Structure 1
Amino acid sequence: MAGVTKVSVVLALLAMLAAWRYFPPVPDSIEEKGKFRGLIFSLKLQDDLAAILESLGLTTKLSLMRAMQNILNVKMEDPSVKVTDTTFAGVKVRLYEPTGRKKAGKGPGLVYYHGGGFCVLNVDSHHHITLHLAKTLGVVVVSVDYRLAPEHVYPAALDDCMAATKHFINNAEKYDVDPSRVAVAGDSAGGHLSATVSLKLSQENFRPMPRLQALIYPATQFVSFNTPSYRQSGHLFTLSNKRTAFFKSNYLAGDKSLMQTFLTNENLSDKFNSSHYADYLDPHLIDPKIPPRPPGKKMSAEEVGPNPRHLLDPYISPLMAEETDLRGLPRAYIVVCEHDSIRDDGIFYSKRLEKAGVQVQLKHYMSGFHMVFQLFDYVPEFGRFKVGQDMMEDLKEHL
């Protein structure tokens, strides 16, 4: 009898541990809590399986993540949109051309950069998004299949997106598109690439510039993991702090060597904290009830020091760009989600763009979380979230 009791206690403890691991509390403002719990369960189960297989030397975490995503990809088709896999300036792209568009002059175009932490996902994982945009808006869409880390570290993804975007704008008339009516958009890492492509095109005096940059929960800085949203939502597995550090380290270094630096904020030196760069991360900009920090001293990246210097590169952290470089950027539509560790990246960037005179609209979804936009119109239907549908409808109004 005593043995049975011990077994029962052990099983109860294991059940409690499993519940703690796989079914954590759901934030109150997240709607469709059952779906969210199912999503977290599947993500954590995949992560644990990857850790076990990696420890056995059978595969890597990224390889398993990519394999699982390939299984989940659904290739949707629509007779009203011609879909072609091709290359622009040597970069793989997927081209969407609506077949029933009325010829009333040259139409608008859209270049889309998919999310995935610079390491996973591709044009297939976002096919349902880009197909829907092409069909419902009647616009030509180019989805860029940029090279992924860790096989191809920074600046490979940016280089690919720049090359494909320039090619499309320069050859827009071939696709019956007005080159002055091309927008760029992307989610997560793709939002980062939308921002950095816009910034780099401006620095190169490229013309015509994109008419709009749509940044969907973008990562705009690699400098600090100590913002209010990292502290508030960094435990959520849709984009935990550890997961973010894993992706960013692979993007910059091609391995996990920078993870600890990111997670412990080792790069935030005293010089950085006393510089004007730290002003761009002032929590007062997120919560006015927090007293503003004293203005920092104007310094160059070299003066701040060697440790964080490359993180201050505006093509890695567009939030850290000089104000003169932000002026003249295309108008911005920025989406942030309340339950997202990088929520503040989008808010901080919107403040900087506004101060530089750029027209900005910031949309804050209080029930949103990272990756929910990707679940728009997801198959199977039980994986869809209403807030993702709302985000898509709002995005279309701005494109």
Structure 2
Amino acid sequence: MGLLYAILLGAGGMIAIGFFLLVSWAIYYDLSRSNIPARFDHPLKLRFIYRILILMFTMGKLLEVLGLCRQVVFIRFLLDLWRPALDPSLSSKDLHFDGVPVRVYQPKSPSAGRRRGFVFFHGGAGMVGSILAYEDVCSKIAKESDSVLVSVGYRLSPEHPYPAQWKDCFAATVHFMQNAELYGVDPSQIIIGGDSAGGNFASIVAQQLVERSDLPKLRAQVLIYGGFQCMDFNLPSYQQNSRMPILFREKVLHFGLQYFLKDSSLSYDLLKGSHVPDEMRLKYGKWVSPENIPEKFKRQGYERVTLAPYKLDVYKQVAEILQPTFSSLFAGDAVIRALPETLIVSCEYDVLRDDSLLYKKRLEDNGVKVRWFHAENGFHAVLNLFNAGFLTFPSSIEILDNVLDFVKHL
């Protein structure tokens, strides 16, 4: 009995030491790598969240090295642990739209007529995130806007590489548009939207729908801090927020290459712009130019960086990232002009901020009606923290309130 007690005590001690080392590593990594501007509100709260994420990714990597579990699977598991109770004023049903898993949220209260529909694509770099992880966000939008909301569980990379993600989103959206009346939805009042990678997918789906004359026109699109171009990673926001939690510039490149199943060693050439052919620089440079970004966003520090000489071998490996089906900023004028009314949400402390500003200008220059909300104290992925208790950020509530106001006043 004494021996068993000693073994258990020793094991408990080892676990405690291991946990202490992990926490120490998370604190060290945060303090040595991240840079939170002094003007940012709630830095301690953000550091706490970021350190939790560092712990999650570190533990996942250790499990992967030990051959027990892939890091991405571990992260998905942890993100799905939070299971909020469904609001009693809503019903939900798990279905498949053209083979794609979806969850349909519907208000229980009777409606005088057909409701609007909202198709939502979650974020997560195309590799993590799920219907369950976005239950809070989606149920809140459905309830407060009195809409039928479809949350799309698209396939994830690396098991299902690009373009599976946006194609699933497109297939689910088309199915919903064709069968909207079965869910009490007016087919002419369907909105699509998403955050982060989901915002990128929404922009692509909206552009693909322009060619579908057999379907009603989208009523609107909601693009929440998405990425819309992969030509220039040295725009002002990429420099100013290069080490701002929770998304560093280096991680944008790292996750992007992982998403496409490409070697992470290509990050250096992408950062310099060596992947962009000269003809694309001439064609797209007018849209990606920092001259299109208002001066107030350059005052926090910006040094113009010229793209490095083109390397054909690099371009051949990553050519997909410059196509409109990923860099949606590069769609033709005819497609852009046909897009629906748009809400664009950007965050001041987000490395992807300027992608939103550039896409906003591209839409406005082509006559698309745009409403823009800029979260002055927002950072990437803050939307997911609108209902996180003491970890809730005011900017997350502001973003959600603006989305709801936009939808309700369409």
TM-score of the superposed pair, with normalisation by structure 2: 0.84
Q: Which residue of 2 aligns with 1:5?
A: none
Amino acid aligned to 1:76: A
Offset of residue 191 of structure 1: 0.4
CA-to-partner distance for each residue in 1:25-73, whole Å, 9 max, x for gaps? 53233222221121121122223333333334333321221122122x2
Matched, 1:106 2:114: yes
CA distance in 2, matches of 1:220, 1:237: 20
Q: Among residues 267, 279, 287, which one is paired with 2:275 in the alignment? A: 267
Counterpart for residue 296 of structure 1:
none
| Cα 1:282/1:396, change in 2 over 3 Å | same
SS at match of 1:362: strand
Contact 2:336–2:363 at 8 Å: present in 1 too?
Answer: yes
- CA deviation vs aligned residue, 1:261-319 (integer Å, no higher than 9, x gap): 4344331344443x12122111111244889x9xxxxxxxx9xx756643331111111
- Of 280, 288, 293, the residue aligned with 1:286 is 293
Moved more, 52-61 or 243-252: 52-61
Does residue 234 of the first structure (1) align with residue 239 of the second (2)?
Answer: no
Q: Which amino acid aligns with 2:285?
A: A
Query: Given that residues 22 and 40 in structure 1 are in contact (C-alpha distance below 8 angstroms), is that contact kept between their aligned partners in structure 2?
Result: yes
Instruction: Report the AA paired with residue 94 of structure 1.
Output: R
Letter in 2 for 1:310: E
User: What is the match of residue 90 of structure 1?
Assistant: 99
> Match of 1:367?
377
Which segment is superposed worse, 157-166 or 244-253?
244-253
- How far the C-alpha of 1:255 sits from its partner, in A, is 6.4
Corresponding position: 1:138 with 2:159: no
| Runs of 4+ more than 6 Å apart | 15-18
The answer as to whether partners of 2:231 and 2:288 remain within 8 angstroms in 1 is no
Deviations along 1:59-101, one digit per CA (max 9) or x if unpaired, are 3321221122122x22322221111111111110000011113
Counterpart in the other structure of 1:343: 353
Q: Quick one: which amino acid aligns to residue 398 of structure 1?
A: F
d(CA) in 1 for partners of 2:264 and 2:74?
16
One-letter amino acid of the counterpart of residue 283, structure 2: H
Q: One-letter code of the match for 1:140?
A: V
Residues 127 and 158 in structure 2, CA contact (< 8 A), matched pair in contact too? yes
Q: Which amino acid aligns with 1:265?
A: G
Partner of 2:80, secondary structure, is helix
Q: Distance in 2 between matches of 1:97 and 1:17?
A: 44
- Relative to structure 1, the CA distance from residue 256 to residue 206 in structure 2 (aligned partners, 3 Å threshold; closer, same or farther) is farther
Identity %: 35
Structure 1: gaps spanning 5 or more residues: 1-14, 294-301
Distance in 2, matches of 1:149 and 1:208, equals 31
* Aligned pair partner of 2:197 in 189, 194, 198: 189
Match of 1:172 in 2: 180
CA distance in 2, matches of 1:254, 1:120: 17
**Could you tell me which residue of structure 2 aligns to residue 313 of structure 1?**
323
Q: Which moved more, 1:20-29 or 1:218-227?
A: 20-29
**41-50 vs 116-125, which moves further:** 41-50
Asked whether 1:219 is paired with 2:227, we answer yes
Amino acid of the structure 2 residue aligned with 1:252: F
Displacement of 1:250: 2.6
- Return the alpha-carbon distance in structure 1 between the equivalents of residues 76 and 284 of structure 2: 36
Match of 1:65 among 75, 84, 92: 75
How many aligned residue pairs are there?
A: 372
What's the Cα RMSD here?
A: 2.7
Match for 1:26: what amino acid? I
**Cα deviation, residue 377, structure 1:** 1.2
Q: Which residue identity does 2:291 align to in structure 1?
A: H
In 2: Cα distance, 1:268 partner to 1:287 partner: 25
Residue in 2 aligned with 1:48?
58
User: Which of 205, 208, 211 in structure 1 is aligned with 2:213?
Assistant: 205
Q: Distance in 1 between matches of 2:59 and 2:160?
A: 25
> Does the 8 A contact of 2:364 with 2:370 survive in 1?
yes
Classify 1:324/1:18 alpha carbon distance in 2 versus 1 (closer, same or farther; 3 Å): closer
Structure 2: how far apart are the matches of 1:29 and 1:200? 40
What is the CA–CA distance in structure 2 between the aligned matches of 1:66 and 1:258, rounded to whole Å? 26
Residue of structure 2 equivalent to 1:329: 339
Task: Give the letter aligned to residue 33 of structure 1.
Answer: P
C-alpha distance in 2, partners of 1:53/1:262? Answer: 30
5+ residue gaps in structure 2?
1-22, 305-311
Cα distance in structure 2, aligned partners of 1:263 and 1:70: 33
Distance across 2 between alignment mates of 1:287 and 1:329: 23
Structure 2: how far apart are the matches of 1:325 and 1:256?
33
- Sort the Cα spacing of 1:208 and 1:233 in 2 relative to 1 into closer, same or farther, 3 A: same
Return the letter of the residue paired with 1:93.
V
User: Which SS does the other structure have where 1:203 is aligned?
Assistant: coil
Once residues 19 and 139 of structure 1 are traced to their aligned partners in structure 2, the CA distance between those partners, rounded to angstroms, is: 42
